């Protein structure tokens, strides 16, 4: 089983048993997540910015306007921290002290690089698009030269990585199990709604099938 070697910065120390380093679990969390948060420092000020992302192999791609302060800063090779968190449930214990959440999270440290190769840039943008809907890149209009020029793509290699996971019921103090208080887990799930057309779909265009998003 391939694993990421823990480093001084990624070794899970608090509740170390929840630390996860194998590629399969880390990739699964990244692939299920929709939004990452990126931390970096620019001009002495620290920022944490939410943005979309896509994983392809051992790299994470982020993209945005070429004028973006975050992208312009990151492309200079500054240290960055990217995190993804999935919340799976409220963990309700018999004592307030032991209330918690079930979650899966990933932390990635490193330096991003600006993607300059046209082929890789297009492949990354295709990855962003098809991550939302399978084969959407193939059915929608391709980006123009101007759209490509106005968009920057950065790549972050998955090298210094760790995940942390909590599952299961609450862990109460033994004496508290005698208390007449309900305890357990309330699952939290992201649910897709029904697709809503924008009012200008041409006649004859098939209705969007939500089943194309079943993997979500």
d(CA 181, CA 94) in angstroms, rounded, equals: 6
45 falls within a domain:
yes
Label residue 214 by pLDDT band (50, 70, 90).
low
pLDDT digits (tens, 9 = 90+) for 164-202: 999 999 999 999 999 999 999 999 999 888 999 999 999
pLDDT at residue 14, as a whole number = 81
Tally of domains in the chain: 1
pLDDT at residue 216, as a whole number = 53
Q: What are phi and psi of 94, to 5 degrees?
A: -80, -15
pLDDT at residue 171, as a whole number = 96
Lowest mean pLDDT among 6-10, 75-79, 106-110: 6-10
pLDDT at residue 209, as a whole number = 87
Kindly state the average pLDDT of the residues 135-159: 96
| Beta bridge partners of residue 63, listed in sequence order | 153
141 falls within a domain:
yes
In angstroms, the Cα distances linking 153 to 36, 49, 52, 72, 93 are 15, 16, 12, 11, 44
- pLDDT reading at 4 higher than 90: no
9 falls within a domain:
no
Q: Coil, strand or helix: which one is 16?
A: helix
179 falls within a domain:
no
pLDDT digits (tens, 9 = 90+) for 40-99: 999 999 999 999 999 999 999 999 999 999 999 999 999 999 999 999 999 999 999 999
Per DSSP, helices labelled H in 140-202 are 145-149
In angstroms, the Cα distances linking 29 to 22, 105, 107, 131, 132 are 11, 7, 11, 14, 16
- pLDDT reading at 211 higher than 90: no
164 falls within a domain:
yes
CATH number, domain containing residue 138: 2.30.110.10
- pLDDT reading at 161 higher than 70: yes
Answer whether 78's CB lies under 8 Å from 40's CB: yes
Kindly state the average pLDDT of the residues 204-209: 92
180 falls within a domain:
no
pLDDT at residue 215, as a whole number = 60
pLDDT digits (tens, 9 = 90+) for 9-21: 888 888 788 888 8
Average pLDDT, whole number, for the chain? 94
195 falls within a domain:
no
Q: Which domain holds residue 164?
A: 16-89+100-170
203 falls within a domain:
no
Among 61, 74, 103, residue whose Cα is nearest residue 188? 103
Kindly state the average pLDDT of the residues 142-168: 97
């Amino acid at each position: 089983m391939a694993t990421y070697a823990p480093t001084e910065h990624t070794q899970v120390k608090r509740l170390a048993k929840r630390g996860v380093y194998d590629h399969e679990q880390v990739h699964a969390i990244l692939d299920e997540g929709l939004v990452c948060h990126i931390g970096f420092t620019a001009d002495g000020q620290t920022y944490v910015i939410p943005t979309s992302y896509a994983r392809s192999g051992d790299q994470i791609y982020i993209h945005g306007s070429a004028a973006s302060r975050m992208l312009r800063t990151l492309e200079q090779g500054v240290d960055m921290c990217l995190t993804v968190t999935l919340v799976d449930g409220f963990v309700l214990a018999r004592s307030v002290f032991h209330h918690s959440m079930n979650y899966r999270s990933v932390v990635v440290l490193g330096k991003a690089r600006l993607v300059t190769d046209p082929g890789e840039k297009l492949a990354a943008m295709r990855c962003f698009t098809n991550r939302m809907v399978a084969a959407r890149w193939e059915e929608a209009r391709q980006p123009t030269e101007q759209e490509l020029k106005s968009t920057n793509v950065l790549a972050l290699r998955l090298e210094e990585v760790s995940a942390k996971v909590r599952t299961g019921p609450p862990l109460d103090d033994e004496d508290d199990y005698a208390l007449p208080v309900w305890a357990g887990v309330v699952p939290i799930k992201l649910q897709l709604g029904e697709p809503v057309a924008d009012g200008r779909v041409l006649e004859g265009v098939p209705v969007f099938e939500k089943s194309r998003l079943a993997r979500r």
